[in-house]
């Protein structure tokens, strides 16, 4: 376990949020009901807020704040894999896409020095909440699917009824 390994992980977390922002933003183009708009917007908000929370740590550790085109491309590539899917299929697919990130974020949290432990753990909670939301949606249980996501937001979106 070294600080260097954690730094690599922290950059990965940051770029992961860039990927997620592009994915959810692109998905907003295709899933347009009021309910889908609220849920995708809420997931987009989660990604944006996480990215903002990570930035001070990156700065403190002398890491790059640049949002890489490579990450944006990866978000677009992920989006392409959703093509033609209805909502429930898309949410099932989202769960599959997110699962490896949850595992990786756990590894990164284990590398975190004490002063970054809380931040790193919050990123595991963050990613797990996306996985849980996607699994609930895929199973047709959309009523409370975003609860754990919304809990983490400083700027939650208004629910359109
Ligand atoms: Fe994320």
Residues 6+ apart with CB under 8 A from 117: 109
Query: What's the domain count of the chain?
Result: 1
Confidence of residue 161 (pLDDT cuts 50, 70, 90): low
Residue 59 alpha carbon to ligand 1 centre in Å: 19
> The CATH number of the domain where 129 resides is what?
1.20.1260.10
Provide the 8-state DSSP code for 86.
-
Q: Report yes or no on 160 lying in a domain.
A: no
What are the pLDDT digits (tens) for 124-158?
A: 999 999 999 999 999 999 999 999 999 999 999 99
Distance 2 CA to ligand 1 centre (A): 24
Domain membership flag for residue 95: yes
């Amino acid at each position: 376990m070294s600080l260097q390994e954690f730094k690599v992980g922290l950059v990965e977390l940051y770029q992961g949020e860039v990927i997620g922002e592009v994915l959810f933003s692109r998905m907003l183009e295709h899933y347009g009901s009021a309910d889908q708009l609220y849920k995708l917007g809420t997931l987009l908000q989660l990604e944006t807020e996480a990215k903002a929370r990570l930035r001070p740590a990156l700065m403190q550790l002398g890491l790059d704040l640049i949002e890489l085109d490579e990450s944006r491309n990866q978000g677009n590539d992920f989006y392409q894999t959703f093509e033609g899917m209805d909502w429930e299929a898309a949410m099932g697919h989202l769960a599959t896409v997110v699962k490896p990130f949850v595992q990786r974020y756990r590894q990164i949290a284990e590398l975190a020095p004490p002063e970054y432990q809380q931040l790193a753990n919050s990123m595991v909670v963050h990613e797990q909440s996306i996985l849980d939301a996607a699994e609930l949606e895929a199973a047709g249980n959309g009523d409370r699917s975003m609860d754990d996501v919304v809990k983490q937001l400083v700027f939650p979106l208004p629910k359109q009824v």
